[in-house]
Amino acid sequence: MHIGERIRHRRIELNMTQRQVARLAGISVTFLSDIERGRSNPSLENTLKLGKALELPIAEVMDQSEPDKVLEKKSPYEILDPYLNDFNLWPDEDKQDVIKFLEYKRSSLKKKKKK
């Protein structure tokens, strides 16, 4: 299930319209629709906002069952560098969300390795 499907599923689960979610997340309804249909991918910042709007932990919003082929071709530094350059500009709450997500993913990986 891609990120848009998870967002759509949660929105429907909460009985919310696209307009309501878009307003809470500070994005356009058109952009949200494109995300839900898999036509657009939200930035990390917008993913955080959507997670908050949908009361969904960021780890669940971003969880992928299939590896992204683009990510396999890049080093972790190449992938994260654009985000880390702006990290100091983010609100503290968003920084904490990202840190919690990374801690969750690291913990999940450690648990998988123990099995």
The model's pLDDT over 8-52, given as tens digits with 9 standing for 90+, comes to 999 999 999 999 999 999 999 999 999 999 898 888 889 889 999
* pLDDT, mean of residues 51-68: 73
Write the CATH number for 64: 1.10.260.40
**Residue 55 Cα to chain centre, angstroms:** 12
- Number of independent structural domains in the chain: 1
If pLDDT is split at 50, 70 and 90, which confidence band does 66 have? very low
> How far is it, in rounded angstroms, from Cα 105 to Cα 53?
21
pTM: 0.56
Residue 115 has pLDDT above 70, yes or no: no
Q: Which residue range is the domain that position 86 belongs to? A: 3-114
